[in-house]
Amino acid sequence: MTIREGGPADAAAVLALFDEAVEWLVERGQTGQWGSEPFSAIEARVAAATEWAAGGGLRIAEHDGAVVGALVLGSHPEWVAPASEPERYIQALVSSRAHAGQDIGGALVRRAIEETRAAGIGLLRVDCWAGAPPLVAWYERQGFARSGTFEVRGWPGQVFSLGV
C-alpha cells in the first residue's frame, strides 16, 4: 500500500469509498453514522468531497493502483470547540470495506501523525460517531484519548486528541 497526496481528480474516488462504507453500514442496520443514502446522492456531501479534494489536505491510500482509503487533514469543524493550542484535525477518514483488516485506516492515521509532527504542531484531533463503541475503541487503539463530545441535529459525536 502507498499513501499519496490527493487532488481534485480524486473526489469521485473519495465519494465511491464513502458510498461503499454507507452500503456496508446499511447492510448491518447501522444507519446512525451516515444515514442510508449514498454520499454521492447528497449534494452537500458531494460538495464536501470536492472541497476536500481541492483543499490540499487529502491523502489517498492505494493498493495495486486502486484507491482503498482516504483521509482529510485540515482545521476543526465548526461544531467542535477550537483547541487551546495549534492543531491539525482529521476531517474525514474512510477505507474500503473490501480491504477490511489491512490496516488502511491505521496507516492513514500514522501518516497524519507524521505530517502533524513534521509541521511542528503538537496536537492532532479527530471525531467520530459516538454511537458506535467499536469505532470509538478503534480510535483509542490508534493512540487517541477522548477529549470532548458534541451533538449536531441529534447526531452524537466523540472528539479525540493525540499529542504528537
Q: What is the mean pLDDT of the chain?
A: 95
pLDDT at residue number 30: 85
* Cβ-contact 109, 142 below 8 angstroms: yes
- pLDDT tens by residue, 39-89: 999 999 999 999 999 999 999 999 999 999 999 999 999 999 999 999 999
The C-alpha cell that represents 126 in the structure block: 479527530
pLDDT at residue number 108: 98
Fold classification of 2-163 (topology level): Aminopeptidase (3.40.630)
pLDDT above 90 as % of the chain: 91
pLDDT at residue number 160: 98
Residue 33 has pLDDT above 90, yes or no: no
- pLDDT tens by residue, 139-164: 999 999 999 999 999 999 999 999 99
**What does the DSSP 8-state code read for residue 138?**
H
Task: Please state whether the predicted TM-score (pTM) of the whole model is above 0.85.
Answer: yes
* Cβ-contact 157, 130 below 8 angstroms: yes
* pLDDT band (50, 70, 90) for residue 32: confident
pLDDT at residue number 21: 94
| Mean pLDDT for the stretch of residues 116-141 | 96
- Closest-CA residue to 123 (of 79, 80, 155, 60): 80
